[in-house]
Amino acid sequence: MSGFDFSTSIAQTSLPNPILTASGCAANGKELSAFFPLDQIGAVVTKSVMSQPRSGRATPRMAETPSGMLNAIGLQGPGIDAFLKEDLAWLVEHGARTIVSIAGESVDEFAALARKVRGAHGVSAIEVNISCPNVENRGLVFACDRNSAREVIEAVKRSVGNTIPIIAKLSPDVTDIVSIAEEVVAAGADGLAMINTLLGMVINTETMRPHLANKTGGLSGPAIRPVAVRAIYQVHRALPQVPIVGMGGVLTGNDAFELVLAGACAISVGTATFHDPSAPIRIKQELESLLVARGFSRFSDAVGYAHRSDQ
Amino acid sequence: MAHSASINPDVTQSECEVISKRKVGAYHHLTLAAPAIAEHAKPGNFLAISIGDMKSSMLLRRSFAIYQTVPRGPFGGTVEIIVAPHGPGSTWITQRAPHEKLDVVGPLGNAFKIPKDPVRALLVGGGYGSAPLFALAETLRQKNSRVEMAIGAATADRIFAPVEGKRSVHSLMIATEDGSSGAKGRVTDLFDNSLSAIDIVYACGPMGMLRALTEIGARAGVLVQCAVEESMACGVGLCMTCVLPVQDKDGVIKMLRSCIEGPIFDGSAVQWDAIGTIPPGTYGAHR
């Protein structure tokens, strides 16, 4: 495979290959490093971190579903200060390119988090997880409301300027994902990450109550892959210049290729790491072989290739 | 939240051949060729096994305590597990034939703490929760400890007490809820008042049993090391689903992962009453 150019870029950030972890599916990298060297993948996307330490939600937090799972973890984490001091420092020390995912309950919290991340050393990009409830707006999820989504991205952009690319993570639980994508790009997002989980519920037929303590949870895994392919395809068509980090049920190199053809210039491997902790490195190898077999000499030539007959 | 615990440093992922499989009561005893795991596993460690292949609709790994290991046998190193087929995933595992391969990650989790000096130990298993206790018994006996074991289950076919395992203990007591084997009643009924001659309790089984043992241990001033059974999605510390509220050394309650910080906890630190909730005062509790 010599000569194949696997590199990609998200705004001004260049990555040696397009395979990333997915936020919330890799903890903060340490555990995964027991299975492969983290510097071998494009970047580690860390678990969305908030301003303060978070206990997360009560258990049960998880339910297995056909070709997928529901989760309601509740953003358990150490808070931004401990994260930067311990987790980020560890990732940088181990040569991992790192995309820090931030989550807030208000526009101000997002802005404050972004300021702290900007001041840290070794951050490749910021993922803005806007799939959180906005406590200042009846708990409505930022990503499901154009105005809230725009306000968060504008505030983060004001905090970081053009120092670090901002990636807005979109929810598929919207009527028109293209209009949300256009809104956040206009507000200053340098890239988009899609799709986040879909909201779902499992009812236990023995207890005859919702299985998760939180009642609802986010659906992930191969079950949602066609939704991801559709969303990426639609958004890439509308905004062909905007980098898209694609995710949603990627379990193999072939799955990743599908998202690339739809328009993703990077691929996050999420739920697959629960099934196979070596999945990111395996998928990287499988995707490279597949691209070479299809005759591509550069990864970037394959991005959005499924759109070619429409243009 | 300082990350005090790390993933088991000996962990590996490998395709492991099923060497043998046999039915033991309601359970299945699987022997897997897993030299790297056999070499490093300690009593209390567990394995995480994936279900089916890449086209499987069941994505989450199933976790099993290691029953015993043979580091150097006729098949190289082997690892044995006891599987109860209570769902589609565990049933799939019990349907594997010899020579088929399983994707196994292990050894995982922490191990039972072994006292330096000889002790009088009581090992308590609920159902197939007794599986990891036999290797523990061997280790304790090598330290000249006295080992008593008590196993309880609903029915006789759910008591896992193999003949070879019985040799590892000085005494074995059995209780079944229907009286089909041993005393009729719960395993905790067997020694309610007899912890006076016990220095340490090790336990593995359902949460209710672990909680009851912790209370008995507290009354007698005896440490109870509990191997918990929390439902896990990955087993390797990524998914944050297997958490439970545990008090740390400073008295702060934290939601700890049973796959990384456990599965073995000091019973008195686990907030048994609060499992399934976020108890007030938990580090980082929602406002």
Radius of gyration of chain A (CA): 18
Q: What is the pLDDT of residue A167?
A: 98
Domains in chain A, please, with CATH?
A: 8-305 (3.20.20.70)
- What percentage of chain B exceeds 70 in pLDDT? 98
List, by residue number, the catalytic residues of A. 132
- The whole-angstrom distance between A302's CA and the closest CA on chain B is 24
Considering only CA atoms, which of A301, A278, A20 is closest in space to residue A167? A20
In the 3-class helix/strand/coil scheme, how is chain B assigned residue by residue?
CCCCCCCCCCCEEEEEEEEEEEEECCEEEEEEECHHHHHHCCCCCEEEECCCCCCCCCCCCEEEEEEEEEEEEECEEEEEEEECCCCHHHHHHHCCCCCCEEEEEEEECCCCCCCCCCCEEEEEEEHHHHCCHHHHHHHHHHCCCEEEEEEEECCHHHCCCCHHHHCCCCEEEEEECCCCCCEECCHHHHCCCCHHHCCEEEEECCHHHHHHHHHHHHHHCCEEEEECCCCCCCCCCCCCCCEEEEECCCCCEEEEECCCCCCEEEHHHECHHHCCCCCCCCCCCCC
Q: pLDDT tens across A190-201, in order?
A: 999 999 999 999
Q: What is the DSSP letter of A247?
A: -
Tokens 């490998």 found at: B14
Q: pLDDT tens across A248-294, in order?
A: 999 999 999 999 999 999 999 999 999 999 999 999 999 999 999 99
Q: pLDDT tens across B199-256, in order?
A: 999 999 999 999 999 999 999 999 999 999 888 999 999 999 999 999 998 999 999 9
Kindly identify which residue of chain B lies nearest to residue A221, measuring between CA atoms: B59
Q: What is the pLDDT of residue B259?
A: 97
Q: What is the pLDDT of residue B1?
A: 39
Is the pTM for the entire model greater than 0.90? yes
Q: Is B168 exposed, middle or buried (0-12, 13-18, 19+ CB in 10 A)?
A: buried
Q: What is the pLDDT of residue B207?
A: 95
User: With left for phi above 0 and alpha for psi between -120 and 50, is residue B71 left, alpha or beta?
Assistant: alpha
Contacts of B267 by beta carbon, 8 Å cutoff, 6+ apart: B201, B203, B210, B211, B213, B214, B217, B223, B224, B225, B226
Considering only CA atoms, which of A156, A183, A188 is closest in space to residue A170? A183
> How many C-beta neighbours within 10 Å does residue A137 have?
15
Q: CA–CA separation, A279 vs B190, rounded Å?
A: 47
Q: CA–CA separation, A228 vs A240, rounded Å?
A: 16
Contacts of B286 by beta carbon, 8 Å cutoff, 6+ apart: A54, A55, A74, B278
Hey, are the CB atoms on A64 and B60 less than 8 Å from each other?
yes
Tell me whether A204 touches chain B (CB under 8 Å): no
Q: pLDDT tens across A24-61, in order?
A: 999 999 999 999 999 999 999 999 999 999 999 999 99
Q: Which pLDDT band holds residue B2 (cuts at 50, 70, 90)?
A: very low
Instruction: Please compute the mean of the pLDDT values over residues A166-180 and round it to a whole number.
Output: 97
Domain locations in chain B as residue ranges:
12-108, 120-274
Q: Out of A53, A58, A251, name the one closest to residue B284 (CB).
A: A53
In chain A, which among 26-65 make CB contacts under 8 A with chain B?
26-27, 30-32, 34-35, 47, 52-62, 64
Residue B220 near residue B195, CB atoms below 8 Å: yes
CA terminus-to-terminus distance, chain B: 17
Overall CATH class of domain B12-108: mainly beta
Tell me whether A66 touches chain B (CB under 8 Å): yes
User: Measured between alpha carbons, how far is residue A56 from residues A60, A284, B62, B77, B131 in Å?
Assistant: 12, 32, 23, 40, 32
- Do the bridges between strand A62-65 and strand A68-71 make them parallel or antiparallel, or are there none, so unpaired? antiparallel
Is the pLDDT confidence value at B97 over 70?
Answer: yes
Q: What is the pLDDT of residue A310?
A: 56
Q: Out of B7, B58, B231, name the one closest to residue A31 (CB).
A: B7
Q: Is the peptide bond before A60 cis (omega within 30 degrees of 0)?
A: yes
Q: What is the pLDDT of residue B55?
A: 86
Q: pLDDT tens across A51-89, in order?
A: 999 999 999 999 999 999 999 999 999 999 999 999 999
Q: In what order do the strands lie in the sheet with A166-169?
A: A19-21, A266-269, A244-246, A191-194, A166-169, A123-129, A98-102, A44-45
- The whole-angstrom distance between B130's CA and the closest CA on chain A is 25
- Residue B11 with chain A: CB contacts under 8 Å: 34-35
Residue B228 near residue B270, CB atoms below 8 Å: yes
CA terminus-to-terminus distance, chain A: 30
Q: Out of B50, B240, B241, name the one closest to residue A275 (CB).
A: B50
The residue with greater pLDDT, B5 or A293, is A293
ipTM > 0.90 (yes/no): yes
Size of the A and B interface in Cβ pairs below 8 Å = 135
Q: Is B120-274 CATH 3.90.1150.10? A: no
Tell me whether A278 touches chain B (CB under 8 Å): yes
Torsion on CA atoms A81, A277, B258, B6, rounded to nearest 10 = -50
- The whole-angstrom distance between B239's CA and the closest CA on chain A is 6
